[in-house]
Amino acid sequence: MVATAAGRLARRLSSTEATAEKLKMSGPTVVAPPKHLMAPSSASEVATGIEAARKKLDSSGITSSLTNSPRETTVTDKYAYAFDIDGVLIRGGRPIPEAIEAMKMLNGENPWGVKVPYIFVTNGGGKTEAERCMQLSQQLEMEVSPGQFICGHTPMREMAEKYKTVLVVGGEGEKCRIVAEGYGFEDVWVHLHMPTGIVLTVRSVTPGDIIKDNQDTTPFRQLTHDEYQNSRARNFAEVEISAIFVFADSRDWASDQQIILDLLMSKNGRLGTRSENYNEGPPVFFSHNDVVWSASHDLTRIGMGALRVSLEAMYKAVTGKQLQTTAFGKPQMGTFRFATRLLQEWRKDTHGIDFPPSTVYFVGDTPESDIRGTNEFNECTDGANWYSILVRTGVFQEGTTPRFQPKATVDNVLDAVAHGMEREHEKSLEEIML
């Protein structure tokens, strides 16, 4: 247990040891920063690291001009890394072979004994940030903290003040409702000292709640026993849904689209109503716009951006009108601004560095989201240079010309890390020569 700033006792969990059960326990939880950032490195650990990194660099054709003997690792304040996850570090739930070595290299196992701060910026989601970090920690065999992690739906957190009741779409079972509740979309019971007793303010509704209330909503989908048990009884005559949030990929496009369409055509988000011109329904937000993504199949799979296109086309076919929807995630500039703030806080809180890096290397596999976003952000920001690196382990396929050109294209994430570190090393040598 550790004391929080507010003086309360909090559970202290290491992100590699934490389990989903432990995260669900009530009370505040502190997910501890990575051990390698809390304790000084021992000389032998550094020596082993350097030897391993040298071998790696040799095998990837990169030669180092350094012949120094092992020394203590230092954290660089000059540059940082930001990583996309699917297609770069993970594919189909399993780490890409070079990913673990790449992380070790950033954590000091390199010829220069340098540790480089880094964050993760994924369009994926469907779980709480803490649960996703716990999973990533196990996959990458190192600790990943929610303080260095953004997923597609993270910005939806900031919308809990604006929208009272939302439809939460996508993901496995009730997981996205749990995410929404963590963001503040929690049902509120108001105990009134009046004869009517208790008033419930509904804040998150799922398609399951709607089907449970009226099975006729979706003629071709019936809830399973578990879905029925987990879905909540609502009085939809009194519920106005003020926004629709697609948190994660839909598991049933047909029924989810039917329900979204009903709401779009409703009067102020009240189910069972139809507005005159079908345009008085709530706005729709998607946590990202990736039309395809890299999963376990050899070829790319359709993703949330495809659902968005499909919904817009369907709305047009049914109403004759154009539907405007909004997507978060990469390549939106808001996501990169968010990432800049996260990196700033991470460097300050974990490494005591209180100024921006000169370069942020962004490693991604999807030209339309990772490379486009990094390049456009680089054009419009006054802060760090954002340097895009495209890998060949995901959406991008060798032999095709990416619509958005990266600064560098490499085989995999280990090469991407080596590329940036080597470049920085050369830059520092040039500075010394001047």
Contact positions toward ligand G3P, by CB under 6 A?
Answer: 84-87, 122-124, 249, 288, 290, 293, 303, 366
To the nearest whole angstrom, how small is the minimum distance from the Cβ of residue 301 to ligand G3P? 9
Instruction: Please identify, using beta-carbon distances, which residue of 101 and 249 lies nearer to ligand G3P.
Output: 249
CA distances from 13 to 2, 22, 142, 192 (A): 10, 8, 14, 39
Choose the contact partner of 124 out of Mg ion, ligand G3P, none; CB within 5 to 8 A by kind: ligand G3P
Instruction: Please identify, using beta-carbon distances, which residue of 87 and 406 lies nearer to ligand G3P.
Output: 87
Q: Please state the three-class secondary structure of 320-360 as a single string.
A: CCCCCCEECCCCCHHHHHHHHHHHHHHHHHHHCCCCCCCEE
CB 67 within 8 A of CB 18: no
To the nearest whole angstrom, how small is the minimum distance from the Cβ of residue 249 to ligand G3P? 6
To the nearest whole angstrom, how small is the minimum distance from the Cβ of residue 28 to ligand G3P? 28
Choose the contact partner of 123 out of ligand G3P, Mg ion, none; CB within 5 to 8 A by kind: ligand G3P
Q: Confirm or reject binding of residue 213 to Mg ion (CB under 5 A).
A: no
CB 248 within 8 A of CB 226: no
Interface segment toward Mg ion; rule CB under 5 A; list 108-116, 215-223, 358-366, 374-382: 358-366
Choose the contact partner of 256 out of ligand G3P, Mg ion, none; CB within 5 to 8 A by kind: none
Angle between helices 372-380 and 333-351 (to 10 degrees): 80
Any idea what the Cα angle at residue 118 is, between residues 424 and 402, rounded to 5°? 75
Alpha carbons within 13 angstroms on the beta-carbon side of residue 66 total: 22
* Partners of residue 388 on adjacent β-strands: 362
Choose the contact partner of 142 out of ligand G3P, Mg ion, none; CB within 5 to 8 A by kind: none
To the nearest whole angstrom, how small is the minimum distance from the Cβ of residue 333 to Mg ion? 18
Choose the contact partner of 266 out of ligand G3P, Mg ion, none; CB within 5 to 8 A by kind: none
Tell me, residue by residue from 72 to 91, as one string, x for binding to Mg ion by CB under 5 A and - for no binding.
------------x-xx----
To the nearest whole angstrom, how small is the minimum distance from the Cβ of residue 330 to Mg ion? 9
Q: How far is CA 425 from the centre of its chain?
A: 30
User: According to CB under 5 A, which one of 365, 368, 422, 424 is a site residue for Mg ion?
Assistant: 365
CA-closest candidate to residue 206, choices 152, 169, 243? 169
- Rounded Cα–Cα distance for residues 125 and 151 (Å): 6
To the nearest whole angstrom, how small is the minimum distance from the Cβ of residue 13 to ligand G3P? 24
To the nearest whole angstrom, how small is the minimum distance from the Cβ of residue 399 to Mg ion? 19
3-class SS at 87? coil
Number of neighbours of residue 174 by Cβ within 10 angstroms: 17
Tell me, residue by residue from 26 to 65, as one string, x for binding to Mg ion by CB under 5 A and - for no binding.
----------------------------------------
CB 337 within 8 A of CB 362: no
Instruction: Please identify, using beta-carbon distances, which residue of 357 and 367 lies nearer to Mg ion.
Output: 367
CB 95 within 8 A of CB 68: no
To the nearest whole angstrom, how small is the minimum distance from the Cβ of residue 402 to ligand G3P? 15
Which residues contact Mg ion by CB under 5 A? 84, 86-87, 365-366
